[in-house]
Structure 1
Amino acid sequence: MTQSLRSRALALAFSVALLAPVAMAQTAPTGDFIVALVNSEPITNAELRAEVQRVTEQLRAQRQALPPPTELNALVLERLVNDRAQLQLARETGIRVDAGAVDNAEQAVARQYQISLDELHKRLAKEGLSVAAFREQLRNQQTLTRLHERDVERRIVVTEQDIDQYLADPKNANTDPLAIEINLAQILIAVPEKASPERVAALGQVAQKTLDRLLSGEDFVKLMQEVSAGDAKNGGQLGLRRSDRYPQSFVAATQKLPVGGYSEIIRSAAGFHILQLVERRIPTASEQTMVVTRASHILLRPTPQEPEAAAVSKLKDFKRRIVAGSVTFASLAREYSQDASAAAGGDLGWANPGMFVPEFEDAMNRLAEDDISEPVVSRFGVHLIKVTERRRVALSPKEVRDSVRNQLKGMRYDDAFVNWARDVRSRAFVELRDAPQ
């Protein structure tokens, strides 16, 4: 939930800059007036109108219904009041966001829209927003995020008894499709490697007749012994194992079957398969797995002599050479990568989810095994990423409990945030003012 909050904060910063035609007013225009005071700090009508316009356009872009204008104005003003009170609390209690953090946030906005900083600044100018005002918005968003992380999360208490109750509740069983254990039995109508189309068609007809006989009530084991080219031991059963250890086509074909049911005919390189679902076992909440990834990267850190664009260009050339087979990923990593993994050919070892920064991990998670990414910009530099292997591993009892603790914290975050924000609001002096007559 905390990560979700960070995402919402960044999304708000992006939309303030690039979705609203006028954005937040930098100075009060002639005839502007104060609509609210928060501990003697004013909120002007120009600020309110600009934020209402931004929210309106955002809701329209998301095709959401707009509240009546009076209600929308009241809701937006209340949020501005809450944000102002929270920013004041952050400043009073020592939260500071330095220029470097704002620089990183500004660069993240540019990367989000795949434009340079210069282009971002030109767009801001067209929308009537100065770079200084935009950076202040980014600073405020980061300040609020840090305040929420500090003050809201410490209100959330998850006891060991809470975790025990969660794990004991049957409705919290692990329903990850690839973690469910299944036992399949198969009848295999083998197809020779160089079989003619006519021979393949004839064997397909044998498979169809076999399936028809099964559906009419004939015994699976008897038919398996009669026609299957597969292992006949144990009634053709392949064994109880996690779904991710079966071919994906087998899992997809049997996912919705009842125990004892038969699949449609599945074609593979080996031939035609008919599967029976012998057993399905859903893990309990205390039996959890996760996918771990082994990846390599080549990291180039931009410098004044080799800026980011040059690093991107160089890594694109590296990828072209690797794909062409003229050089290996590992050899280029050893020669050029600018971090400690260079000595190991860029190998980063096995990584659990969340170990890398989001921009790196998101790109890595989109890759199939042995794929190489396009250049990826992160806060550390520019990366070329290769995924070498993935596997699903069981979590230890401690890891399961830590995972449940985080889930429960996430489930309780919204209530904690609402109560905390209400407390901050109640401690602030707020005066709402009507428009001058």
Structure 2
Amino acid sequence: MNKSFFCRSFSWPKCSSFLAACVLLPFSVFAQPSAAPLRSADFVVAVVNSEPITNQEVQALSLRLQRDARAQGLGTTVSEIKKLALEQLINDKVQIQQAASLGVVVDEAAINQAELSVANNNQMTVEVMRSRIQQDGLSIKTFRDQLRQQLLLTRVREREVDNRIRISDSEINQFLSEQIQRQAAKTTSELNLAMILIGVPENSSPEQIKVLEDRAQSVLTRARNGEDFASLAAAFSTSPDRGANGGAMGLRALDRYPELFVQATSALPVGGVSNLVRSGAGFHILKVLQRQSPPSTLLVTQTRARHILLRPSAQLSQAQAMEQLGSVRRDILSGRADFAEVARRISQDGSAAQGGDLGWASPGMFVPEFEQTMNQLRPGQLADPLVSRFGVHLIEVTDRRDAPMTDAEQRNLARNALREGKLEEAYASWVQDIRGKAFIEMRESPQ
């Protein structure tokens, strides 16, 4: 099954506040608007291993933290925010120095890719993004320096913090057991019963009831002797739908059957026939056609999608690709074009021969910008053109299902979830260690 060149190998996303890739953030978060200086000249507020942190740096980060606090509805004071900003700058400084001592570097190619990803995430070209950045008062050099720093911090944290985390097999087994129990609690058992009803009219005399019971017992004996249950239902059942489906009532949750039926069939295997069940309607003969218990393995929601990909080039700009796929989308929605036919004709992806079909995909198989848009679509829904790091896509979701995970997928999920739970503690411990080895001199308080 071709998963296209822009796919990633199966891995469950590793998410954390400090490991989240900076390339997925809007470029505005990197901008640090200048604060109006309260002194005519900047001054040093702290020194970390001979490297200074200035008041303007604290002011710029404080403004960003204030904006974030307001967005989250937090009532943090300006004084508290400045303390947080200074602490973050000190921690970043010691981590960057640690990266340098370990020889961790970020080359220009990585920065170029990060810049392209930030632009794509904001649905614009690099040129348009750079223009916007300059309009906001931030130089391109400063922006790229900030990208370099974010990538450097991410790499050193991944390298150093991950090495501190240990996940045992017993922890994985316990995690999976708990998750399967939670899943089972939300998933009810289902049952498919076939029924023959020998109805007893109201006001029947005891003699009439005895005749009907004897008839029901005779039919039960024939069913247990191997006669076709559906034929017996068609011949003897007084239920209105006896002939349509051989008495089968369909797979349904246990709570959608009368409690009498559930109790009468609870110990029967598939194919088993119950004793006579007496209800207000008459005498029932029940056969178990199918049982479906909650799955003993974790389920994953898989999506089946198809796409058309255009890659910008010297002959086709990103804006032109967006416009072309926008036109294609309108033609498909109006019925003037067929998605698969257009994909085979113009898509620049390996899936083109399959009409753009990407097959069933589990979470984490596609790059984030593609997957985020795909996950927001309902089956049959067509997205607006999307820019990813690989080009411009037109995505349609065709189906969605819950599928059992393989053992390897389950253990991979458990390992990453357990690692995520330990990341914060491991990160805090690592920062404390390297900060404890650093020489930190506090100078003047930030203004």
Structure 1 counterpart of 2:350, which letter? Answer: A
**More displaced stretch, 384-393 vs 2-11:** 2-11
Counterpart residue number, 2:375: 365
**In the alignment, which of 172, 182, 199 is matched to residue 173 of structure 1?**
182
Please tell me whether the aligned partners of residues 29 and 46 of structure 1 are also in contact (alpha carbons under 8 angstroms).
no
Q: Please give the per-residue CA displacement for 1:357-379, whole angstroms capped at 9, x wherever unaligned.
A: 01111111122223222111111
Task: Tell me by how many angstroms 1:157 deviates.
Answer: 0.8
Task: Tell me by how many angstroms 1:318 deviates.
Answer: 1.6
Give the Cα–Cα distance (whole angstroms) in 1 for the partners of residues 372 and 35 of structure 2. 30
Please tell me whether the aligned partners of residues 13 and 138 of structure 1 are also in contact (alpha carbons under 8 angstroms).
no
Task: Tell me by how many angstroms 1:228 deviates.
Answer: 7.2
Answering whether residue 395 of structure 2 is matched by residue 385 of structure 1, we say: yes
SS at match of 1:434: coil
Answering whether residue 29 of structure 2 is matched by residue 16 of structure 1, we say: yes
Give the Cα–Cα distance (whole angstroms) in 2 for the partners of residues 303 and 180 of structure 1. 53
Task: Tell me by how many angstroms 1:4 deviates.
Answer: 3.0
Counterpart residue number, 2:155: 146
SS at match of 1:163: helix
Please tell me whether the aligned partners of residues 326 and 385 of structure 2 are also in contact (alpha carbons under 8 angstroms).
yes
Q: Please give the per-residue CA displacement for 1:215-236, whole angstroms capped at 9, x wherever unaligned.
A: xxxxxxxxx97677986847x4
Counterpart residue number, 1:32: 42
Change (3 A) 1:306 1:335: same
**In the alignment, which of 159, 172, 187 is matched to residue 163 of structure 1?**
172
Counterpart residue number, 2:443: 433
Task: Tell me by how many angstroms 1:380 deviates.
Answer: 0.7
Counterpart residue number, 1:293: 303
Counterpart residue number, 1:308: 318
Q: Please give the per-residue CA displacement for 1:337-373, whole angstroms capped at 9, x wherever unaligned.
A: 1122222222222211110001111111122223222
Change (3 A) 1:419 1:157: same
Give the Cα–Cα distance (whole angstroms) in 2 for the partners of residues 155 and 316 of structure 1. 48
**In the alignment, which of 86, 94, 111 is matched to residue 85 of structure 1?**
94
Task: Tell me by how many angstroms 1:153 deviates.
Answer: 1.6
Give the Cα–Cα distance (whole angstroms) in 2 for the partners of residues 392 and 80 of structure 1. 45
Counterpart residue number, 1:63: 73
Task: Tell me by how many angstroms 1:310 deviates.
Answer: 0.6
Task: Tell me by how many angstroms 1:116 deviates.
Answer: 4.6
Answering whether residue 427 of structure 2 is matched by residue 414 of structure 1, we say: no
Task: Tell me by how many angstroms 1:38 deviates.
Answer: 1.3
Task: Tell me by how many angstroms 1:55 deviates.
Answer: 0.8
Q: Where does the alignment leave 5 or more consecutive residues of structure 2 unmatched?
A: 1-12, 195-236, 260-290
Counterpart residue number, 1:348: 358
Counterpart residue number, 2:225: none
Counterpart residue number, 2:104: 95
Q: Could you say what the CA RMSD is over the residues aligned between the two structures, in angstroms?
A: 3.6
Counterpart residue number, 2:134: 125
Change (3 A) 1:415 1:436: closer
Change (3 A) 1:330 1:10: closer
Change (3 A) 1:378 1:111: closer
Give the Cα–Cα distance (whole angstroms) in 2 for the partners of residues 398 and 409 of structure 1. 16
Please tell me whether the aligned partners of residues 322 and 392 of structure 2 are also in contact (alpha carbons under 8 angstroms).
yes
SS at match of 1:22: coil
Change (3 A) 1:280 1:173: farther
Identity of aligned residues (%): 39
Change (3 A) 1:372 1:72: closer
Q: Please give the per-residue CA displacement for 1:58-87, whole angstroms capped at 9, x wherever unaligned.
A: 211221111x44333222111100001111
Change (3 A) 1:114 1:395: closer
**More displaced stretch, 75-84 vs 384-393:** 384-393
**More displaced stretch, 124-133 vs 407-416:** 124-133
Please tell me whether the aligned partners of residues 185 and 237 of structure 1 are also in contact (alpha carbons under 8 angstroms).
yes
How many pairs does the alignment contain?
362
TM-score using structure 2 length: 0.70
Counterpart residue number, 1:4: 16
Answering whether residue 404 of structure 2 is matched by residue 394 of structure 1, we say: yes
TM-score using structure 1 length: 0.72
Please tell me whether the aligned partners of residues 95 and 143 of structure 1 are also in contact (alpha carbons under 8 angstroms).
yes
